[in-house]
Amino acid sequence: DQQVKQNSPSLSVQEGRISILNCDYTNSMFDYFLWYKKYPAEGPTFLISISSIKDKNEDGRFTVFLNKSAKHLSLHIVPSQPGDSAVYFCAAREGANNLFFGTGTRLTVIP
Amino acid sequence: EAGVVQSPRYKIIEKKQPVAFWCNPISGHNTLYWYRQNLGQGPELLIRYENEEAVDDSQLPKDRFSAERLKGVDSTLKIQPAELGDSAVYLCASGLGLAVGTQYFGPGTRLTVL
């Protein structure tokens, strides 16, 4: 059973606009959430994370929002750049346990 | 700083053949993970090592998969015999322990079983 879900397999955005990638989870015990970015033929690379005690974390153009009551998190990229085109994976963890990954969303930023 | 190194990058074999993947983690990282990523899916954990000890191998299909991490550094993952359904990308990752947060992934080995 998929505990972390990314329901949008793909997203296309114009350069300079905002990209919003969504992620839902079912396990209320998850307390740490991460976003990974993956280019073709490379492994996922860590992008940004958030602890369940926060509802927002920002790093440059990337902001992650967490809504615990809705079991939902989102990644905002502003402004989007062509180099942001990649597959984005949401991941979640409960305590010192292993990560559970979503199925990924392919972002295409159109120049 | 060198990243996680994996070899080979690509492997094509016929079903029932054995195959092995090798991983060299980032220096100083005591935790090592093997993941399998099927097409269109996210990575799924196969086994996690803390130093040389396999602390979580609950998702490793032990009838055909085996792994080792001698001396707590490099690791190998073996499949014997391979089946068609084993075609996937096998990712190795390393980190400083779960409590620290992030894992650093290697480029993966793409396995095709014919």
Across residues A39-56, what is the average pLDDT? 93
The 10s digit of each residue's pLDDT in B5-57 is: 999 999 999 999 999 999 999 998 999 999 999 998 999 999 999 999 998 89
Facing residue for B105 by CB, picked from A4, A32, A43: A43
Say how far apart CA A11 and CA A17 lie, in whole Å. Answer: 12
Proportion of chain B above pLDDT 90, given as a percent: 79
Residue A35 has pLDDT above 80, yes or no: yes
Asked whether the beta carbons of residue B103 and residue A32 sit closer than 8 angstroms, the reply is no
Query: Is B47 part of the contact surface with chain A (CB cutoff 8 Å)?
Result: no
> Which residues lie closer than 8 Å to A89 by C-beta, 6 or more apart?
A6, A35, A36, A37, A38, A44, A101, A102, A104, B42, B43
Whether the CB-CB separation of A46 and B103 falls below 8 Å is answered with yes
Residue B83 has pLDDT above 70, yes or no: yes
Query: Which of residues B90 and B1 earns the better pLDDT score?
Result: B90
Which chain A residues contact residue B33 at CB under 8 A? 98
Facing residue for B105 by CB, picked from A4, A44, A96: A44
Asked whether the beta carbons of residue B101 and residue A34 sit closer than 8 angstroms, the reply is yes
Pair of tokens at residue B111:
């396995």
β strands within A32-71, DSSP E: 32-38, 45-51, 56-59, 62-67
Name the closest residue on chain A to residue B33, using Cα atoms: A98
Asked whether the beta carbons of residue A49 and residue B101 sit closer than 8 angstroms, the reply is yes
Provide residues of A within 8 Å CB-CB of chain B. Answer: 4, 9, 32, 34, 36, 41-46, 49, 89, 91, 93, 96-99, 101-104
Residue B101 has pLDDT above 70, yes or no: no
Start-to-end C-alpha separation, chain A:
38
Q: How confident is the model at residue A98 (pLDDT cuts 50, 70, 90)?
A: confident
